[in-house]
Amino acid sequence: MSSSVDIVLEAKGLAKSFLFEGRSFQVLEDIDLSISAGQSMSIRGDSGCGKTTLLNLLARLETGDRGEIRWGNHKMSASSKCASAEALIRASFLGVVYQAYYLIPELNVLENVLIGARLSGSFGKESTTRARELLNRMGVGQKERQVPSKLSGGERQRVAIARALINNPKLILADEPTGNLDERTGAEVMDLLLKSCDEENAALILVTHNPIFAQATNRSLFLKKGTLQNQ
């Protein structure tokens, strides 16, 4: 069991339901999880089972019905809205990698990576240097002046990973990061993501449908009927 000192993220009793046509549907029920620095965890589950909802709760992008979330030493109620102070903490504490990349089409590759630094209020010459180092590590350093529309899907996701890492986050949340990629490119991107998190000593929570990718993490969980089960 991880000690309280090195736990990066902890969630206790997370629950989330949705109203649809006057009926309440329970998506998550009493979710408990924790992850320490440098560890990786995968979460699999059927489509629509609540995997993305769980990541959104952990990132404080959605509110839950009840439960508690802790980022390092910062505790929050899952049912309360994310305050502006928490949003600022989030910008430097965690990075998110999405299936759809979410790069800003009007900005070039380097500018897209630097958006993360701007949001955290730490933008400067050092940020630009780190952004270029990350892009080189991702194998797209030569593309820094290109706009996203000129990149392949694999290249876009490499840029998205660099953006997620720009602020030296303690935690990376990755939601189906290879879902839009072919098998070979997906494997390359997943290898980069796992290797980068290891090098940065960042914890990783990965949502994936791919059992091979899931088994590459330190711990593999399955979300079923609103609860997390060990695999």
pLDDT digits (tens, 9 = 90+) for 20-68: 888 899 999 999 999 999 999 999 999 889 999 999 999 999 999 999 9
3 pLDDT tier (thresholds 50, 70, 90): very low
pLDDT at residue 4 greater than cutoff 60: no
pTM of the full structure: 0.93
pLDDT above 50 for 15: yes
For 131-151, the pLDDT digits (tens) are: 999 999 999 999 999 999 999
Residues 6+ away with beta carbon under 8 Å from 65:
15, 16, 17, 78, 79
**Domains of the chain: residue spans and CATH:** 7-230 (3.40.50.300)
CB-side neighbour CA atoms (13 Å) of 201 = 4
Give the pLDDT score at 5: 52
What pLDDT is recorded for position 120? 77
CA 8 – CA 211 distance, rounded (Å): 25
